[in-house]
Structure 1
Amino acid sequence: MSQSLRIVHCFRSPVGGIFRHVRDLADAQAAAGHKVGIVCDSSTGGEYEARLFRAMESKLELGVRRTPMQRHVGLGDIAAAWRTFRLIKELQPDILHGHSAKGGVYSRVFGSLLRVSRSRVARLYSPHGGSLHYNPSTMTGRATFMLEGMLERVSDHILFVSEYEQDTYRRKVGEPKVGHRVVYNGVTPAEFEPVLPAADASDFLYIGMMRDLKGPDIFIDALGLAEKALGRPLTATMVGSGDDRDRYVAMVAERGMSERVTFLDPMPARQAFALARTVVVPSRAEALPYIVLEALAAGRPMIASAVGGIPEIFADAPTALVTPQPDAIAGKMVLAASDPAAWAAAMPRPADIAARFSVSRMAQEIETVYRSVIL
């Protein structure tokens, strides 16, 4: 049996796809006999995320440590950073794996500080989109990508979740000068059990974070345009939380659609899939979103933005792909609502998703990387 590793995953916000990725990876690593811990923000996430933490804590020998973390790196972040560093130092990791922008900064800076005190920790970074979403023509973007280039010097490996993410890094930061690899996100065998829509299901479902980057506003606008094109009302369910949720509720009310659009708090994806006939992912930017993999594994028809790594998922069945614009998505909504059977038949087969995107494959490939960089 291979030597057990002490693995700490560090990230800021325990919501959405990043949290899902860390949970799956931590579960698989703990099952493989490793000592695993999580360090993340305590000020984001609600009761749903708290339940997920409670369900996994008993599996993690190094536990779950939560402390307030600011979203952006800056002078006001010093106290939070010091608290986080002390938590990580106490856990004595062999592997410090940072996820997204803040986790990436912490894993590499704190890992380097631990090395000064003779720790042999390996420093890994998974962008998950994160800072790569910035525009390189803006001052913020230029500063961000300069920082990424500097942090690369104290990185042992960079793990990308899609070819698109890797190409974006090359274009905005430069060719990586350290080891790097694409490891696709994966879904579990249980997620390939089909989910059927409920008898009172809505026409369309949005599930995800309530922020403009993920396109809830596009979804609402597209729904209105599709209604006009079809000449009849459509229904929708919107599941998720976020700082902009109240604005989307107001947007729906202003358009006189409140009776047809239902807002619900976060819930398990498979529970949400039963609430509508077609899942819509209208994101303006993505890395490799779990929600797309989960929906296709469950046999749910989809409409998805052709951004980030999403086209890599739909490589052999691109019918569902669309530009993240209200009129374009409305056109796909019209097709899906007019002939649901034909639309469902155009989706990738769950068996094809299983062959390329599995949790076991993801965990094995990441462990191979860990062992290649351990000191």
Structure 2
Amino acid sequence: MKNRIRVLHVAQAAGGVDRYIRMLFKYMDHDKFENILVCSHDFKRVDYNGLADAFEHVDMQRPIGKADIDAMKAVRRLIRKYQPDIVYAHSSKAGAIARVANIGLKKNGDKIKCIYNPHGWAFNMRCGKKKQMIYTAIEKMAAPFCDKIICISEAEKQSALDKKICKQDKLQVIVNGIDIEEYEQRKIAGLSTVSRKSCGIPESAFVVGMVGRISEQKAPDVFIKAAKQIKQKISEACFMIVGDGPDREMIEEYARENNIALFISGWVENASDYISLFDVALLLSRWEGFGLAIPEYMLAGKPVVVSRVDAIPEIVKDTENGLLVKPDDIDGTSNAVLELYKEGALQMKLRNKGMITVHEKFDVKRTAKESEMLLNSVITSRNQLR
């Protein structure tokens, strides 16, 4: 294939970024774009068979340290090797490494363009003011070394403007999406091997679930404390967390001490199969760049209870397609779940409206198409400068 736009993607953090890149590669036009992935060892080569035109591992570590210099040198060598038209950096760490690595590099006499997608600003995390200041300073210093910054929600764009990361014209909102087509094909084919029985959950149980890393951001402590209150009112309630993380042991211990029926799946590839077992789906994040689990819940026809933070109210309109609660609000969370348990008509309304919302707004095919348009515009702007 001739004259394809060659894009070299650089990524350090796996998880949601990994899923995003795979969906992007799947739905981008392969006749027009050549996608090369340079990534940390958290990514698996086998996952990109048939998706990536080339795949390279580089030792990129999450903590800031001397190893970053070696990572920058390695990425710079690979940029020189592949001679891309555009370097596309994903997430904060890879964003810093790739943007510095690309400084001064050219292809056929033209500057190699660079775009950056933070996938959620690091300075929005709930951490100390000193760390927030450091993350903000890094983003400000690195911003001049890219041509466009992609924000996955309007809230992310506003955060960048509030922190004066860059001028508004450098920011481009491309809202996140999920793979609706894959979900529907999997459902029709009946590929799921997950059942309530296989998870040790009674068929008659009222299942309250969440998908996400068991860590401070996703507030599993609020989830399990709300579970205690819910269990007191709904005797048949059982609880499920699809994911894993550093706070797992603490959450399991609390569940044992309070006689809460809790199933934790660990890391799985087929989260949608577990979501199908939920009666109510929760995402109680303390900060959130987007909240990809929410449209996944909606696609499965589950009523949602979610925290009112960052980008989440862009997805969920309270009492229209879900219920919003304040972050860290244990009572509000348990009351919202109890309301859904009692009000079948409300459940049905939220399910129906949620499914309409995800089909209208959050299909990853739209995300891929808008990404293609941005990549084309970046190349066009370069050609106009010749």
TM over 0.5: yes
Give the equivalent residue in structure 2 for 1:252. Answer: 255
- Alpha carbons of structure 1 residues 56 and 254: separation in structure 2 relative to 1, 3 Å: same
Which moved further from structure 2: 200-209 or 131-140?
Answer: 131-140
Deviation at 1:271, TM superposition (A): 0.8
Are the counterparts in 2 of residues 269 and 291 from structure 1 also a CA contact under 8 Å?
A: no
> Given residue 213 of structure 1, which amino acid in structure 2 is its aligned partner?
Q
Q: Which residue of 2 aligns with 1:168?
A: 159
User: Does residue 1:58 correspond to 2:36, yes or no?
Assistant: no
Question: Identity over the aligned pairs, expressed in percent?
Answer: 25
Q: Distance in 2 between matches of 1:250 and 1:311?
A: 32
Residue 235 (structure 2) pairs with residue 224 (structure 1): no
Which whole-Å CA distance do the structure 1 matches of 2:310 and 2:230 have between them? Answer: 25
TM-score, scaled relative to structure 1: 0.87
1:235 Cα deviation after fit: 0.5
User: What pairs up with 1:109-258 in 2 under 5 angstroms?
Assistant: 109-115=100-106, 120-134=111-125, 138-176=129-167, 178-190=169-181, 193=184, 200=203, 203-228=207-232, 230=233, 232=235, 234-257=237-260
- Matching residue's letter, 1:328: G
Aligned mate of 2:338, from 325, 328, 334: 334
Rounded to whole Å, the distance in 1 between the matches of 2:346 and 2:287 is 28
Q: Which one-letter code corresponds to 2:221 in the other structure? A: D
Does the aligned pair in 2 maintain the 1:213–1:284 contact within 8 Å? yes
Residues of 1 paired with 2:305 and 2:343: CA distance? 14
Query: For structure 1, which segment, 336-345 or 357-366, has the greater mean C-alpha deviation from structure 2 after superposition?
Result: 336-345
8 Å contact kept, 2:212–2:218:
yes
Q: CA deviation at 1:127?
A: 1.6
2:314 maps to which of 302, 312, 315: 312
How far apart are the structure 2 equivalents of 1:332 and 1:2?
56
Give ranges in structure 2 of 5+ residues lacking alignment. Answer: 197-202
Q: Return the offset for 1:290.
A: 1.6
Residue ranges of structure 1 left out of the alignment (5+ in a row): none
Separation (CA, whole Å) in 1 of partners of 2:161 and 2:117? 14
Matched, 1:276 2:293: no
Cα distance, 1:135 vs structure 2: 6.0
Structural RMSD (CA): 2.8
Deviates more, 1:26-35 or 1:108-117: 108-117
Q: Which residue of 2 aligns with 1:346?
A: 350
Specify the SS of the correspondent of 2:84.
Answer: coil
Matched to 1:327, the amino acid is: D
Q: In 2, are the aligned partners of 1:281 and 1:292 still within 8 Å (CA)?
A: yes
Higher relative contact order structure (alpha carbons within 8 Å, sequence separation ≥ 6): 1
| 1:262 aligned partner | 263
| Corresponding position of 2:368 | 363
| Equivalent position SS for 2:36 | strand
TM-score by length of 2: 0.84
Question: Is residue 7 from structure 1 mapped to residue 12 from structure 2 by the alignment?
Answer: no
User: Which residue in the other structure is 2:39 paired with?
Assistant: 40
Aligned to 2:158, what secondary structure does the other structure show? Answer: helix
Counterparts of 1:366 and 1:178 in 2: how far apart (Å)?
Answer: 16
